[in-house]
A and B are shown apart, each in its own frame.
Chain A
Amino acid sequence: MGTRKLTVPSDRSQLERIRKFVCEAAREFGFSEMEVNKIELAVDEACSNVIRHAYGDDASRSFDILVETEREEFSVVIEDTGKSYDILTHKLPEMPVYLREHRPGGLGIKLIRTLMDNVDYEPLHGRNRLTLTKRLHPRTP
């Protein structure tokens, strides 16, 4: 099991740095480029939500991104102390309706839950902990 950690200010300009950090770790873990792209997008969407919604674009705040690996599992844990929001209970948009209505925004959570194998959220002692997990090889049914 290994862990690496990145702490960044809650500023949208940090998203590129976060993506690089996570992509490097995912590649080293052995994911194909297509899987790396999925992890990159899911983590970017989750961190954008933290910056925009949990912290309201307040760059004086900061949050942590941890990469934890164990056997086949690659997890990215995002911890912030902002406004909590349980993405597991978020109602996902029905895409045909969504597209018909031409609504901008609100697609991030849909992407996160589509791209990752498992998504877990727990508010703990004033911290929000979102865990996005992907397995190196999909579980055989």
Chain B
Amino acid sequence: MTKRLFVKGNEAVAMGALEAGCRYYFGYPITPQSDVPEYIARHLPALGGQFIQAESEIASINMLLGAAACGARAMTSSSSPGISLKQEGISYMAGSECPGLIVNVCRSGPGLGGIDASQADYFQAVKGGGHGGYHIIVLAPDSVQEMYDLAMLAFDLSDRYRIPAMLLADAVIGQMKEGLVAHKYVPPADLAEKTWALTEKCNSGKRKVVKSLRLGDGEMEAHNNNLHARYAEMAQREVRYEGLHLDDAELVLTAFGSCARIAKTALRLAREQGMKVGMLRPVTLFPFPAAPLREHCATARKVLCFELNNGQMVDDVRLALPDKEVAFYGRAPGAGSLPTPEEFLAQIRTHYEA
């Protein structure tokens, strides 16, 4: 059997990123994600990379923009209020078509928030958190293993489409320890060389520009159309999800990340009690798995969406299933009051029997 490590989710995402060839990290500490920079600070120098604790979140995201413009695999990580500070820079990255990884180990509530697990940043992540009508790739790991695996996938997707990618996690996924199989990174065969990047290889005599300011006649409109065409292409090609017991499900659950873990136990208990319940867990939150949802819910009576917030992803579920009854249960947890599988099971029973 492959040797399994026993590590925190925050360490796993750092390990996955370094294995995927990330050699530049820029960030500023904040709970509950500080294990990410801590791990990277310890290991990146030996790999010949650069770890920089910047003077602020805003500085660090702009350093990421710079490293990405030069073609490097680079990342930053933070938590909700810090991610808000980075939004201007993320918009510039989206506008300048600069790939890069942003990890958000989400806090709860607006403002400075709490440090408990929460999924309150779903809207900010998937709807384009900054100005300008853009989107970024958003992946939602639900285990320590996926923190590792999806860090690699995030870099690949980000490079392939020249769109920044975010891993959206929380204190449950970040602080929890589980077994991890740390496998080798294999770059996808179709990943093109970054000929657009501002590197020393620029000897063709042709000028290279990475920019978000586009003042030429029709230039900005064409740029926006181009970005949105790539979002549509991703929706066709890059959607990822996990399906459980969907074949005969009368009630389909949807949940992502830590909340999906709680729901999985509730699902097992419901099945043990003879209820025909299934689950579809979006792994990519953007692009959202709308088509698979439609396909798998075709014969279900009802859909129940669980979230650790007051209802955000449920909007996308409802948009995907306009003719289906979609119920919601969720709450923004406070200290020590995470929803439990028993609590979700009670909701499943109510909706299953109704």
Partners in one complex: no
Interface residues of A (CB under 8 A from B): none
Interface residues of B (CB under 8 A from A): none
